[in-house]
Chain A
Amino acid sequence: MNKKYIVPVIYIVCLMLPIYWLVKMSFMTTNEILGTFALWPKEITFDNYIKIFTDPTWYNGYFNSLTYVGINTVISVSAALPAAYAFSRFRFLGDKHLFFWLLTNRMAPPAVFALPFFQLYSAVNLFDTPMAVALAHCLFNIPLAVWILEGFMSGVPKELDETAYVDGYPFWKFFVRIFIPTIAAGIGVTMFFCFMFSWVELLLAKTLTSVAAKPIAATMTRTASTSGYELGLLAAAGTLTIIPGAFVIYFVRNYIAKGFALGRV
């Protein structure tokens, strides 16, 4: 192995240390965790995981989170597709201003919107539903999706559109049958980012739910405060929140870097 690779190896080891610590604790009882400093668990226990998979308040949290993340990803990407096409191909009244206005919503601190969101979604009777969180997360995911998709679409030569037009394809047929498959990689990356930012966000998700649609992350904070610190259980729940992310990364690993540069490389 090349000497040069020492830097990335050290970096990855440092990244993994806190994650290892969390995973380690998830296999220990709370008493053992609090008792002594230990580099690895003396007796491995699966009780924490069994508790999570058998207690509905815990596993429902995962379903709730995955539900709103899924709905949000679908809404964001399908609304952003035509819009990104318009931004990449056409000039129209106020296009540049609109594009910047969309981006400003990516910049709005969620803390600013927490309270009005609560009132808005209570007013339209969506409070405590996965739909409320899914719609609220559109605030920052749609601008991001438009931004990334626009970058990918601008990479596709316009001749493709013109050839299809000359060949007599109606626009929608061209868009669905030819254009979308051409930028499939871009759509994959966009979905990854929508998934990611919706999955990791907690402030809005917590504000907009109480019982029925409580996300897993909120279940964790509330359990911590009601029944004392059940560290082992919290660690197991935390470990399980890493898994969907790791799974998604694996599928889009080749496009991640390009997506982070928002398709503009």
Chain B
Amino acid sequence: MDNRRSNKKAWFFVLPVVALVAFNAIIPLMTVVNYSVQETFGNNVFFWEGVKWFEQVLNSDRFHDSLGRQLIFTGIILSIEVPLGVAIALTMPRKGVWVSVCLVFMAMPLLIPWNVVGAMWNIFALPDIGLLGYALNSIGFDYDYTQQPLSAWFTTILMDVWHWTSLVVLLAYAGLRSIPDAYYQAAKIDGAGAWAVFRHIQLPKMKRVLTIAILLRFMDSFMIYTEPFVLTGGGPGNSTTFLSIDLVKVALGQFDLGPAAAMSLIYFLIVLLVSWVFYTLMMKNEGQ
């Protein structure tokens, strides 16, 4: 990236992008900031409130609970999807027609609208008429995701693994394909075992794409809304009310603009902070 020419006119090249994104990002963001420090009783009359909403949100048990659930959820799905995706990518064929077949089938869940994914799993997991629920109950599990929090969590996680593991597979596979055959031949001559090949050849080569995979999965799972909302509606009780479900409840359900805006900003800052750490890591990798 760094033997680029200096060119001040380059700003004209990026102007359309900046204009379009700024229109969508800065104006709404400023609206949110405005709401977050004011109180309103309707009629477009606003009163200055300072940091009251931020204090209220940061001290509320409700926010702590949904943030906690969100962190646990993101942690669990990352620790399942990343190793599983790498394992599947390692076993995929490298050449021939089967590569295309695998890729097409594996990419399918990624292209289904998110509410259809939710609706699909909603029925698929029903204990009486859904394949998953019926099968689990008939082999002796007491499973009903509409009643039991544990089952609801299991279903939500399984759905996310079903939906997004393919993303990790495709990324890891792209990384694996960029390893020249000569590396494997050298490893064979040296008598390296499968684990040594993975540890010293495949994993280092996949490091960069895996960082992207983890970054994308972190961002998207942390922002997850539609699928769990359609699947469980945040229930039973509040057991699967993740951060953005809670936020929409506060903002559109109760129309508490101030607290909702403050919550939005805190939420955005958390995503931003973690993503910045990942981004810095990624750029450092690229520099090497």
Residue in A36, A89, A90, A246 whose beta carbon sits within 8 Å of that of B108 in the complex: A246
Interface with A: B26-34, B49-57, B75-83, which one? B26-34
What CA separation (Å) do A107 and B267 show in the bound complex? 11
Closest to A218 in B: B115
What CA separation (Å) do A202 and B18 show in the bound complex? 24
**Which residues of chain A are within 8 angstroms of B18 by Cβ–Cβ distance?**
83, 98
Closest to A116 in B: B28
How does the 8 Å CB contact mask read for B154-191 relative to A, with 1 for contact and 0 for none? 00000000100111011101110110000000000000
The answer to whether A154 and B24 have CB atoms under 8 Å apart is: no
What CA separation (Å) do A113 and B267 show in the bound complex? 12
Looking at the assembled complex, report how far the CB atom of B102 sits from the nearest CB atom of chain A, in whole angstroms. 6
Total CB contacts across the A-B interface at under 8 A: 289
The answer to whether A112 and B7 have CB atoms under 8 Å apart is: no
User: Contacts A12-B102, A203-B225, A249-B108: A142 and B87 contacting too (C-beta < 8 A)?
Assistant: no
**Which residues of chain B are within 8 angstroms of A139 by Cβ–Cβ distance?**
21, 24-25
Question: Is A45 interfacial (CB-CB < 8 Å)?
Answer: no
Interface with B: A1-9, A51-59, A178-186, which one? A1-9
**Which residues of chain B are within 8 angstroms of A210 by Cβ–Cβ distance?**
none
Residue in B167, B219, B243, B252 whose beta carbon sits within 8 Å of that of A107 in the complex: B219
How does the 8 Å CB contact mask read for A179-201 relative to B, with 1 for contact and 0 for none? 00000000000000000100111
Interface with A: B123-131, B140-148, B196-204, which one? B123-131
- Hey, which bits of chain A sit against chain B, CB under 8 A? 2, 4-5, 7-8, 11-12, 14-19, 21-22, 25, 33-34, 36-37, 39, 75, 79-80, 82-83, 85-93, 95, 98, 100, 102-117, 119-120, 135-136, 138-139, 142-143, 146, 154, 158, 196, 199-203, 216-217, 220-221, 231, 234-235, 238, 241-242, 244-246, 248-250, 253-254, 256-258, 260-262, 264-265
